[in-house]
Structure 1
């Protein structure tokens, strides 16, 4: 606006731009401060007008301890939020310098909360033994992943979950080779081996479904596509192995057995051969 006026009448608008824009920049910064407070209300206080955010729930022997930590986080944030509410009249008043000390105190508490959450995440994952537990743990802590400063540790833990899945795929592949000729003692040789292979396939498909369902909220991971590709290849190889076992079984049948299997049962003859029922 000043440039437009000065083009028509040079020197007509002599403005102290630094003083004017200092107030504007200060007001904009305070708006960003309030956005940060509101985001913290959603993440650490579970205070959201649009949706209900459930409390984190943990299983296992230390579940109560972890839930108590989450309660502690909420109480710490509640106290910090009360401090902000007490000085609400100064937040958008750019001529009130006390707000800078107030927001600094608030952010110091938020930094302490973030440190507690990082330690909590590490403690939760110490008791994780398989993929299902890891996914459940991440889901319980998922609301904290919305905080920018905590995304790094959540990305790290997400990568660890996919690595656990990848390790299980590799273990299944090794077992297919090392236990190729083994089968449960209470099952025949061919069908027993086929049952074991089918169980491995079902396990992989189950884990794949868990990870696929979790992709709605789970953070992206660079090696996820490679793991899924290996799962698809291995399940395909299991199908081929089961088919080969069936072919080998049918080739080992003698002609009399095959003829018997292809013959339908005569109901009357079968009934005549059954022993008579005992009369009481």
Structure 2
């Protein structure tokens, strides 16, 4: 009882040394398991994602080679002549250190494969498919961080697509006189349809990027959204402007002459036809009012353009 106030003076290091060593051994084995998840998909029965493009076979073969190398390194660790859970075994630190360095080398090889896969894509959609595939495969932190970095490059790819391609095409449509539009389409509605096609093009790509919910917010993402919103808004305003110009031209048509335009023969002979052709019957051509035909064409295609206040 008289010694009850004396503090304990046990050396904690020596008491918990083996427990700490066992906990560290478990952490080492967890890293081995993580390596199996990262590099040994095929041997674990996990299906490999279907890569597209011309480099699909090359990517798959490279991943299989990495897996074969990992399994060889793992077999050497499995065949040690001591119990891997025995914390008193002095050789574990050396064997595991070698295995860990080999995994670092495999990580570098793995990231090179990812980089090579992205070099073979040219569109945002295909790049998103590649990113999705490697996101499912990424298990180790270093590989995960590299996949996130490639996601940032994906936003840059879309920004370049909008600035270098879509925006340039849009600027061509805004020039006067405008570039030739699709054959068979009227002037105003044809121009609007072409710009609508550009809007749909970037809208689909933006929707693909929005599906990448696993990517952390970044500066590149904010910049891409700003460029998209500005470009999409400008194109939508241009479509409204073209529609307004067509409506103004439509109102400029003389209402009093609309009836007269319809009171003409539907067929006529060409004015340059010879007398012999006329005597033999000659050729006939449509005599319907050309301005009315243009108006009907415009109406037909404007009806196909929905939204945007039209």
Higher helix share: 1
Match for residue 116 of structure 1? Answer: 109
Match for residue 238 of structure 2? Answer: 241
Q: Indicate if the aligned counterparts of 1:144 and 1:150 stay in contact, CA closer than 8 A.
A: no
Q: 2:173 aligns with which of 171, 179, 183?
A: 179
Distance 1:217 1:70 in 2: 23
Distance 1:238 1:58 in 2: 35
Q: Indicate if the aligned counterparts of 1:41 and 1:47 stay in contact, CA closer than 8 A.
A: no
Q: 1:154 aligns with which of 147, 160, 166?
A: 147
Match for residue 41 of structure 1? Answer: 36
Match for residue 96 of structure 2? Answer: 103
Q: Indicate if the aligned counterparts of 2:40 and 2:67 stay in contact, CA closer than 8 A.
A: yes
Distance 1:7 1:175 in 2: 91
Distance 2:119 2:106 in 1: 20
Higher mean alpha-carbon deviation, 128-137 vs 40-49, is at 40-49
Match for residue 197 of structure 1? Answer: 195
Distance 1:108 1:37 in 2: 12
Offset of 1:69 from its aligned partner? 0.6
Say whether 1:222 aligns with 2:215: no
User: Counterparts of 1:121-136 in structure 2 under 5 Å?
Assistant: 121-136=114-129
CA deviations over 1:71-107 (Å, ceiling 9, x no partner): 1122222223333333496222111112112211221
Match for residue 206 of structure 2? Answer: 208
Give the TM-score normalised by structure 2.
Answer: 0.72
Residues 194 and 88 (structure 1), Cα distance of their counterparts in 2 relative to 1, 3 Å cut? farther
Q: 2:85 aligns with which of 86, 89, 92?
A: 92
Structure 2 residue runs of 5 or longer lacking an equivalent are 260-310
Distance 1:176 1:159 in 2: 26
User: Counterparts of 1:43-58 in structure 2 under 5 Å?
Assistant: 43-46=38-41, 53-58=46-51
Offset of 1:228 from its aligned partner? 1.9
Offset of 1:259 from its aligned partner? 5.9
Q: Indicate if the aligned counterparts of 2:40 and 2:70 stay in contact, CA closer than 8 A.
A: yes
Secondary structure of the structure 1 residue equivalent to 2:138: helix
Offset of 1:123 from its aligned partner? 1.8
Secondary structure of the structure 2 residue equivalent to 1:59: coil
Distance 1:239 1:25 in 2: 65
Q: Indicate if the aligned counterparts of 1:145 and 1:154 stay in contact, CA closer than 8 A.
A: yes
Match for residue 15 of structure 1? Answer: 10
Offset of 1:134 from its aligned partner? 1.6
Q: Could you say what the CA RMSD is over the residues aligned between the two structures, in angstroms?
A: 3.0
Structure 1 residue runs of 5 or longer lacking an equivalent are 261-280
Say whether 1:76 aligns with 2:75: no
Give the TM-score normalised by structure 1.
Answer: 0.79
Q: Indicate if the aligned counterparts of 2:53 and 2:121 stay in contact, CA closer than 8 A.
A: no
Secondary structure of the structure 2 residue equivalent to 1:141: helix
Q: Indicate if the aligned counterparts of 1:184 and 1:192 stay in contact, CA closer than 8 A.
A: yes
Offset of 1:16 from its aligned partner? 3.6
Match for residue 270 of structure 2? Answer: none
Offset of 1:15 from its aligned partner? 2.8
Match for residue 267 of structure 2? Answer: none
